[in-house]
Protein backbone atom coordinates (compact mmCIF):
# COMPACT_ATOMS: atom_id res chain seq x y z
CA UNK A 1 0.00 0.00 0.00
CA UNK A 2 1.13 3.51 -0.72
CA UNK A 3 0.69 6.20 1.92
CA UNK A 4 -1.89 7.72 -0.42
CA UNK A 5 -4.28 4.78 -0.30
CA UNK A 6 -4.20 4.69 3.48
CA UNK A 7 -4.85 8.39 3.97
CA UNK A 8 -8.13 9.29 5.62
CA UNK A 9 -10.27 12.41 5.72
CA UNK A 10 -10.50 14.78 8.68
CA UNK A 11 -13.46 15.18 11.01
CA UNK A 12 -13.88 18.94 11.20
CA UNK A 13 -16.52 20.23 13.60
CA UNK A 14 -18.17 23.64 13.73
CA UNK A 15 -19.79 24.45 17.08
CA UNK A 16 -21.41 27.47 18.65
CA UNK A 17 -24.64 29.03 19.83
CA UNK A 18 -27.57 29.63 17.46
CA UNK A 19 -27.23 32.25 14.69
CA UNK A 20 -23.44 32.45 14.88
CA UNK A 21 -23.03 31.56 11.19
CA UNK A 22 -22.13 27.87 11.47
CA UNK A 23 -24.29 26.66 8.59
CA UNK A 24 -23.19 29.49 6.27
CA UNK A 25 -19.54 28.82 7.09
CA UNK A 26 -19.88 25.03 6.86
CA UNK A 27 -21.30 25.29 3.32
CA UNK A 28 -18.59 27.73 2.21
CA UNK A 29 -15.88 25.61 3.79
CA UNK A 30 -17.01 22.44 2.00
CA UNK A 31 -17.08 24.27 -1.32
CA UNK A 32 -13.61 25.73 -0.83
CA UNK A 33 -12.00 22.48 0.35
CA UNK A 34 -13.46 20.73 -2.69
CA UNK A 35 -12.02 23.42 -4.96
CA UNK A 36 -8.64 22.89 -3.31
CA UNK A 37 -8.85 19.21 -4.28
CA UNK A 38 -9.95 17.64 -0.99
CA UNK A 39 -12.85 15.24 -1.19
CA UNK A 40 -15.24 16.87 1.32
CA UNK A 41 -18.80 16.34 2.50
CA UNK A 42 -21.16 18.44 4.61
CA UNK A 43 -22.74 16.75 7.63
CA UNK A 44 -25.28 18.16 10.06
CA UNK A 45 -26.63 17.38 13.51
CA UNK A 46 -29.42 17.05 14.27
CA UNK A 47 -30.01 15.14 11.02
CA UNK A 48 -33.73 15.79 10.73
CA UNK A 49 -34.19 13.37 7.82
CA UNK A 50 -34.07 10.12 9.83
CA UNK A 51 -36.98 8.78 11.90
CA UNK A 52 -35.24 9.86 15.08
CA UNK A 53 -34.49 13.21 13.44
CA UNK A 54 -38.17 13.73 12.63
CA UNK A 55 -39.01 13.33 16.33
CA UNK A 56 -36.33 15.91 17.14
CA UNK A 57 -37.72 18.28 14.51
CA UNK A 58 -41.21 17.96 15.99
CA UNK A 59 -39.77 18.96 19.34
CA UNK A 60 -37.65 21.86 18.07
CA UNK A 61 -39.80 23.37 15.34
CA UNK A 62 -43.37 22.19 15.89
CA UNK A 63 -43.84 22.70 19.61
CA UNK A 64 -44.23 18.98 20.35
CA UNK A 65 -43.33 18.23 23.95
CA UNK A 66 -40.91 15.54 25.06
CA UNK A 67 -39.28 14.78 28.40
CA UNK A 68 -35.91 16.62 28.70
CA UNK A 69 -33.93 13.43 29.35
CA UNK A 70 -35.71 11.55 26.56
CA UNK A 71 -35.01 14.23 23.95
CA UNK A 72 -31.37 14.36 25.06
CA UNK A 73 -31.10 10.64 24.32
CA UNK A 74 -32.77 11.14 20.93
CA UNK A 75 -30.14 13.74 19.96
CA UNK A 76 -27.43 11.29 21.03
CA UNK A 77 -29.08 8.40 19.19
CA UNK A 78 -29.21 10.63 16.11
CA UNK A 79 -25.38 10.77 16.26
CA UNK A 80 -24.92 7.05 16.94
CA UNK A 81 -27.11 6.15 13.97
CA UNK A 82 -24.72 8.13 11.73
CA UNK A 83 -21.45 6.74 13.05
CA UNK A 84 -20.92 3.91 10.55
CA UNK A 85 -21.64 6.18 7.58
CA UNK A 86 -19.28 8.85 8.94
CA UNK A 87 -16.52 6.29 9.49
CA UNK A 88 -16.99 4.96 5.98
CA UNK A 89 -16.52 8.40 4.42
CA UNK A 90 -13.56 9.30 6.61
CA UNK A 91 -11.80 5.99 5.99
CA UNK A 92 -12.34 6.38 2.25
CA UNK A 93 -10.48 9.70 2.41
CA UNK A 94 -13.40 12.13 2.53
CA UNK A 95 -13.19 15.03 4.96
CA UNK A 96 -16.41 15.73 6.86
CA UNK A 97 -17.39 19.27 7.79
CA UNK A 98 -19.87 18.72 10.60
CA UNK A 99 -22.35 21.37 11.71
CA UNK A 100 -22.86 20.72 15.50
CA UNK A 101 -22.17 17.56 17.49
CA UNK A 102 -22.15 16.18 21.04
CA UNK A 103 -20.93 19.48 22.54
CA UNK A 104 -24.21 21.07 21.42
CA UNK A 105 -25.97 18.02 22.82
CA UNK A 106 -24.54 18.55 26.29
CA UNK A 107 -24.60 22.36 26.30
CA UNK A 108 -28.29 22.68 25.40
CA UNK A 109 -29.51 19.92 27.74
CA UNK A 110 -27.37 21.06 30.68
CA UNK A 111 -28.62 24.62 30.10
CA UNK A 112 -32.11 23.28 30.89
CA UNK A 113 -30.78 21.99 34.20
CA UNK A 114 -29.84 18.37 33.43
CA UNK A 115 -26.72 17.07 35.15
CA UNK A 116 -23.64 17.74 33.00
CA UNK A 117 -22.00 14.34 33.57
CA UNK A 118 -25.28 12.54 32.89
CA UNK A 119 -25.54 14.48 29.64
CA UNK A 120 -22.05 13.47 28.48
CA UNK A 121 -22.58 9.79 29.11
CA UNK A 122 -24.64 8.66 26.09
CA UNK A 123 -22.07 10.19 23.70
CA UNK A 124 -19.06 8.50 25.32
CA UNK A 125 -17.07 6.51 22.78
CA UNK A 126 -18.39 8.36 19.74
CA UNK A 127 -15.95 9.47 17.06
CA UNK A 128 -13.86 12.37 18.33
CA UNK A 129 -13.51 15.40 16.03
CA UNK A 130 -10.00 16.08 14.71
CA UNK A 131 -10.62 19.81 14.76
CA UNK A 132 -13.28 21.81 16.61
CA UNK A 133 -13.86 25.35 15.41
CA UNK A 134 -15.94 27.29 17.92
CA UNK A 135 -17.76 30.28 16.46
CA UNK A 136 -18.15 32.74 19.29
CA UNK A 137 -19.98 36.04 19.62
CA UNK A 138 -21.98 37.92 22.26
CA UNK A 139 -25.58 36.62 22.46
CA UNK A 140 -26.83 40.20 22.18
CA UNK A 141 -25.28 40.28 18.68
CA UNK A 142 -26.58 36.91 17.46
CA UNK A 143 -30.08 37.81 18.67
CA UNK A 144 -30.16 40.65 16.12
CA UNK A 145 -29.67 38.18 13.27
CA UNK A 146 -32.59 37.11 11.08
CA UNK A 147 -34.61 34.14 12.23
CA UNK A 148 -33.58 34.27 15.89
CA UNK A 149 -36.43 33.08 18.11
CA UNK A 150 -38.07 30.81 15.53
CA UNK A 151 -37.18 27.59 17.34
CA UNK A 152 -37.16 26.29 20.87
CA UNK A 153 -34.01 27.43 22.80
CA UNK A 154 -33.61 30.65 20.78
CA UNK A 155 -33.96 32.91 23.80
CA UNK A 156 -31.45 35.20 25.52
CA UNK A 157 -31.40 33.36 28.88
CA UNK A 158 -30.97 29.89 27.41
CA UNK A 159 -28.34 30.99 24.86
CA UNK A 160 -26.35 32.73 27.60
CA UNK A 161 -26.27 29.50 29.64
CA UNK A 162 -25.46 27.45 26.54
CA UNK A 163 -22.47 29.67 25.80
CA UNK A 164 -21.17 29.26 29.37
CA UNK A 165 -21.55 25.49 29.10
CA UNK A 166 -19.73 25.39 25.76
CA UNK A 167 -16.86 27.24 27.43
CA UNK A 168 -16.85 24.65 30.24
CA UNK A 169 -16.70 21.83 27.67
CA UNK A 170 -13.95 23.56 25.70
CA UNK A 171 -10.84 21.45 25.14
CA UNK A 172 -7.28 22.79 24.70
CA UNK A 173 -7.34 21.86 21.01
CA UNK A 174 -10.41 23.93 20.18
CA UNK A 175 -9.91 26.91 17.92
CA UNK A 176 -11.95 29.91 19.09
CA UNK A 177 -13.15 32.06 16.20
CA UNK A 178 -14.52 35.58 16.57
CA UNK A 179 -17.87 35.20 14.79
CA UNK A 180 -18.48 38.96 14.64
CA UNK A 181 -15.88 39.25 11.85
CA UNK A 182 -16.93 39.42 8.20
CA UNK A 183 -18.08 36.20 6.53
CA UNK A 184 -14.93 36.28 4.34
CA UNK A 185 -12.40 36.67 7.17
CA UNK A 186 -14.03 33.92 9.22
CA UNK A 187 -14.04 31.74 6.10
CA UNK A 188 -10.31 32.30 5.49
CA UNK A 189 -9.47 31.33 9.06
CA UNK A 190 -11.59 28.16 8.86
CA UNK A 191 -9.99 27.11 5.56
CA UNK A 192 -6.50 27.64 6.98
CA UNK A 193 -7.22 25.59 10.13
CA UNK A 194 -8.98 22.86 8.16
CA UNK A 195 -6.14 22.37 5.69
CA UNK A 196 -3.69 22.03 8.59
CA UNK A 197 -5.94 19.41 10.20
CA UNK A 198 -6.36 17.47 6.94
CA UNK A 199 -2.58 17.21 6.60
CA UNK A 200 -2.02 16.40 10.26
CA UNK A 201 -4.48 13.47 10.55
CA UNK A 202 -3.99 11.94 7.11
CA UNK A 203 -2.02 8.96 8.47
CA UNK A 204 -3.61 8.79 11.92
CA UNK A 205 -6.26 6.24 12.92
CA UNK A 206 -9.82 7.43 13.57
CA UNK A 207 -10.41 8.31 17.22
CA UNK A 208 -13.38 6.57 18.86
CA UNK A 209 -12.81 8.00 22.31
CA UNK A 210 -15.00 11.02 22.79
CA UNK A 211 -15.16 11.76 26.54
CA UNK A 212 -13.44 8.49 27.47
N1 LIG B 1 -29.31 20.82 19.71
C2 LIG B 1 -28.50 20.33 18.73
C3 LIG B 1 -29.50 20.13 20.91
O4 LIG B 1 -30.23 20.58 21.77
N5 LIG B 1 -28.86 18.94 21.08
C6 LIG B 1 -28.04 18.40 20.12
O7 LIG B 1 -27.47 17.32 20.33
C8 LIG B 1 -27.85 19.12 18.89
C9 LIG B 1 -26.97 18.56 17.82
O10 LIG B 1 -30.91 21.83 18.39
N11 LIG B 1 -30.81 25.11 18.97
C12 LIG B 1 -30.05 22.05 19.48
C13 LIG B 1 -29.24 23.23 19.08
C14 LIG B 1 -30.16 24.06 18.21
C15 LIG B 1 -31.18 23.06 17.72
O16 LIG B 1 -29.92 22.89 15.69
C17 LIG B 1 -31.18 22.83 16.23
P18 LIG B 1 -29.69 23.67 14.29
O19 LIG B 1 -28.21 23.64 14.08
O20 LIG B 1 -30.23 25.07 14.49
O21 LIG B 1 -30.46 22.88 13.26
MG1 LIG C 1 -30.94 26.71 14.84
Map out the domains of the chain with their CATH numbers.
3-201 (3.40.50.300)
Average pLDDT over residues 20-38: 98
Measured CA to CA, the distance from residue 12 to residue 33 in angstroms comes to 12
- pLDDT range class, residue 6, cuts 50, 70, 90: confident
Please state, for a pLDDT cut of 90, what percent of the chain lies above it.
97
Average pLDDT over residues 47-75: 98
Report how far ligand 2's centroid is from the alpha carbon of 18 (Å).
5
- pLDDT range class, residue 5, cuts 50, 70, 90: low
pLDDT reading at 1 higher than 80: no
3-state secondary structure of 54: helix
Indicate which atom in ligand 1 lies nearest the CA of residue 75.
Answer: 7
Amino acid 78: pLDDT: 99
Pairing of strands 40-44, 11-16: unpaired
pLDDT reading at 15 higher than 50: yes
Ligand 1-lining residues (CB < 6 angstroms): 18, 45-46, 60, 75, 100, 104-105, 108, 151, 153
* ipTM computed for the complex: 0.98
pLDDT in tens, 72-125: 999 999 999 999 999 999 999 999 999 999 999 999 999 999 999 999 999 999
Average pLDDT over residues 16-34: 98
Q: What is the mean pLDDT of the chain?
A: 96
Which residue CA neighbors atom 3 of ligand 1 most closely?
A: 105
* Nearest one of 106, 133, 134 to 210, comparing CA atoms: 106
Measured CA to CA, the distance from residue 48 to residue 25 in angstroms comes to 20
The kind and range of the H/E element at 120 are helix 116-120
From start to end of the chain, where are the E strands?
Answer: 11-16, 40-44, 95-99, 131-136, 175-178
Measured CA to CA, the distance from residue 9 to residue 7 in angstroms comes to 7
pLDDT in tens, 157-187: 999 999 999 999 999 999 999 999 999 999 9
Amino acid sequence: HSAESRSRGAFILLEGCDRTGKSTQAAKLVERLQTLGHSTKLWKFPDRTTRIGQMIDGYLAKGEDLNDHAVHLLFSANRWEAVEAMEKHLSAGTTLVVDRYAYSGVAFSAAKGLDLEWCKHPDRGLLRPDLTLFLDMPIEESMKRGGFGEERYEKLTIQTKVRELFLQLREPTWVMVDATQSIESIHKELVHQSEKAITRVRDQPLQHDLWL
